[in-house]
Chains A and B, each alone.
Chain A
Amino acid sequence: MKDILKITVVLLIICIIAGGVLAFVYKKTAPKIAENKKLEEENARKEVLPKAEYFESVSDNGKIFYYKGFNENQNLVGFAFQCEKEGYSSTIQTMVGIDTLFQITGIKIVSQQETPGLGAKVSKLEFTEQFKSKNPEKILADKDGGKIESITGATISTRTITNSIREKFKNIKEKLSPEQGVK
């Protein structure tokens, strides 16, 4: 009986100490983690739409649909949106920036876990650069008769990204149009 009491007390003490220490570290690191995440998203948006100084989110049914980008004079300079689609071995998430004439200003692969050395190369600049100043409605991978050059051995990843951008843009195009008058 005494034995059980001792075991319980020891375990309880260790648990309380462990819980306390973890809560302390969590309190210290949580704001930093949240900040990192926010910063990462913000940087991605700035990267694809460099002209914009700050962004405003536009929501649809409680979900963020796209962002409006403004320059320092509070003029609308373009939009940023995130699209995602199932690639070869993972879901590829892409951040896309377009200007007010609906030309792509840049894209950035936010997350992907495609095959290292093949599909994973979509994150590289050589690939993403070619999307610049193209019409998001008309982009097609070269294997589908378009002009986006596929990465050797990664046709599916290339097609996924191209299609996901085109489809998402079609979705939001109607909502973007009225905004243009505002600028």
Chain B
Amino acid sequence: MTGGARRADPKPMDVDALIDDPGTKIVVCCGAGGVGKTTTAAALALRAAERGRRTVVITVDPARRLAQSMGLEELDNTPRPVPLPRPVTAGGGSRDGQAARVSGDGQDGQDGQGSLHAMMLDMKRTFDEVVREHADPERARQILANPFYQTLSTSFSGTQEYMAMEKLGQLRQSGEWDLIVVDTPPSRSALDFLDAPKRLGRFLDGRLIRFLGPAGSGTFRLLGAGMNMVGSVVGKIVGTRFLNDLRSFVAAFDTVFGGFQERAERTYRLLRAPGTAFVVVAVPDSDAMREASFFVKRLAEDAMPLAGLVVNRTHPLPTGPGADLSAEWASTAADTLADTHPLAVAALRSHAERVRRRERELWLLERMTSTHPDTRVTEVAARPEDVHDLVGLREIGSALAGDER
């Protein structure tokens, strides 16, 4: 028949235990593009807030309507209070994003009252802040005006990941939050979130940039004439104007940052510290599941704690007699009824399609769990429409926590 139950169901993730645990400080949601990371992150954050924790969710590039549902109208890098869908404090409950002070300025949540804040990452502004924090005003001005910096801070691949980490570090240090939920940037690969910051740090601290930097720096002297050839090659490829911009950028930057790489390492360590948990998000298609597999493997290698895998948009079968009705039987029956019972035909065909779809999903899930047998897996069934309000997010949170299990 159809396999209503799997041979070895993986254990579901215990979401409430995770978000209720005062030891859990950071939850990072990662996965391929288009799998519903932002929705998952927002739903987890909302649930944590409703269960009494002072929570902030950092999102990167949320869908417009989802952002609006959380009162995020602009990318301003500041955690904004999100009015929870039902009143949690006196005077709360207003749906007006600006007026609602359901959760204030980090003041609430003191007597076990949860709150939700959300912010959209503005990577340029975060980068600017880092520069201003570390440079005297004149140097900061020079750096901020440099064309190379302007490109670096807006469009270098890796900057977004680096800045997400940077922001995470800042929020963690502020001590204002019980729980920080991070939605990772839409990268080429989910692993970029872990690797890009180090890569950017390595580059900014690297031999190349020192070599391109002011003449007379250590590496340059040591390597001597052989390097002139390379220098002229670089100039040839990218143009001398570019080199000059880069040189003045490095000169200004070098005095400001002793160790960009060290900074990247430090935030990376934060991800390995106790209190951080990863939630890998996927949908039941082979690309997304493969990406999730890579990520799970990588987390294990780096000894980073995996809370579990969330598989969004699955198509579970009904729980009644429909669970045992096979696709073959339904298709044959539909053929028999073709001319007489149009509604039954439609129902049987839609059932047959759903069963086949479910079989494929279970196959993908089994492939995943057979490679990583200890992974906890939670499914969130497909909904007819995308989530774009807090009530919808709450329902997703409830599905994640298995309220109906």
Q: Does A pair with B?
A: no
Which residues of B does A touch, CB under 8 Å? none
Which residues of A does B touch, CB under 8 Å? none
